[in-house]
Amino acid sequence: MLSKSIFLGLLVIVFAYLYTKWKECLAENQEESIILFWNSSIREPTDQFSHIAVGINCNLDLIVSGVALLSSLEKGRGQPLDSVALESIDDLANTFTYYFSKGSAAERTFKSKEIYAAIIETAEKLEEKEHYIGGNAALMAVNIAELFPNKKIQLIGPIGPVLKKLLPHNVLVPDDSLIDKDEVHLIMEYGLHEAWQGLESPVANRFITSYDESNSRLTMLNKFFKDLGPFSPNLVLVSGLHLLETQSLTYMSDKLEEFKTGLQNIPQSIPVHLELASMADEGAVKLIIDEVISQVSSLGLNEQELTFSSYVANGPHSSYYHSRNGQPEIYKISDMVLWLLKTYGYSSKNPRSRLTRVHFHSLTYHIIGSLPDAWLNSESAVGAGTRMAGRQACKVDRLSPPDIELRIPQSFQLFSGSDAVTFNESKPVVSWKREGFQFVFSPVLVCINPLKTVGLGDAISATGLMYSQFDPSYKQ
Q: What are the residues whose beta carbons fall under 8 Å from the beta carbon of 9, sequence distance 6 or more?
A: none
For residue 286, CA distances in Å to 21, 289, 309, 311, 407 come to 50, 5, 7, 10, 32
With beta carbons less than 8 A apart as the criterion, state whether 386 and 443 touch.
Answer: yes
Within a domain: 414: yes
Give the H/E segment covering residue 190.
strand 184-190
Q: What are the residues whose beta carbons fall under 8 Å from the beta carbon of 285, sequence distance 6 or more?
A: 279, 308, 309, 312
Give the H/E segment covering residue 27.
helix 2-41
C-alpha torsion sign, points 167, 357, 438, 340: positive
At 3, the pLDDT band (50, 70, 90 cuts) reads: low
Told to judge if 290 belongs to the known catalytic residues of this protein, a careful annotator would answer no
With beta carbons less than 8 A apart as the criterion, state whether 460 and 361 touch.
Answer: yes
Instruction: Give residue 245's pLDDT.
Output: 87
Within a domain: 383: yes
Q: Is 267 exposed, middle or buried (0-12, 13-18, 19+ CB in 10 A)?
A: exposed
Within a domain: 417: yes
With beta carbons less than 8 A apart as the criterion, state whether 280 and 84 touch.
Answer: yes
DSSP state of 135: S
Over 90: is that where the pLDDT of 27 sits? no
Over 60: is that where the pLDDT of 19 sits? no
Over 50: is that where the pLDDT of 91 sits? yes
Over 80: is that where the pLDDT of 144 sits? yes
Domain span including residue 431: 26-45+353-466+472-476
Q: What are the residues whose beta carbons fall under 8 Å from the beta carbon of 40, sequence distance 6 or more?
A: none
DSSP state of 152: E
pLDDT tens digit sequence for 168-225: 999 999 998 999 988 999 999 999 899 988 899 998 889 999 998 899 899 999 999 9
Within a domain: 430: yes
Report the alpha-carbon distance of residue 386 to residue 400 in Å, rounded. 14
Q: How many Cα atoms sit within 13 Å of 204 on the Cβ side?
A: 18
E-assigned strand segments in 263-356: 272-275, 298-301
Compute, in degrees rounded to 10, the torsion defined by CA atoms 287, 288, 289, 292.
120
Which residue in 254, 373, 458, 471 is the catalytic one?
458
Instruction: Give residue 84's pLDDT.
Output: 82
- Quick one: average pLDDT of 63-81? 91
Distance spanning both ends of the chain, measured CA to CA: 84
Q: Which of 131-140, 362-371, 446-455 has the lowest mean pLDDT?
A: 446-455
Q: Is 182 exposed, middle or buried (0-12, 13-18, 19+ CB in 10 A)?
A: buried
Within a domain: 272: no
Report the alpha-carbon distance of residue 405 to residue 445 in Å, rounded. 5
62 or 1, greater pLDDT: 62
Helix axes 136-147, 456-466, angle to 10 degrees: 50
With beta carbons less than 8 A apart as the criterion, state whether 103 and 203 touch.
Answer: yes
Q: Which of 26-30, 122-126, 227-231, 254-258 has the lowest mean pLDDT?
A: 26-30
Residue count of the chain: 476
The structural domain count of the chain equals 1
Within a domain: 2: no
DSSP string, 69-82: HHHHTT--------
Within a domain: 213: no
C-alpha torsion sign, points 101, 102, 103, 107: negative
Report the alpha-carbon distance of residue 36 to residue 48 in Å, rounded. 24
With beta carbons less than 8 A apart as the criterion, state whether 355 and 296 touch.
Answer: yes
pLDDT tens digit sequence for 228-245: 999 999 999 999 999 898
Within a domain: 373: yes
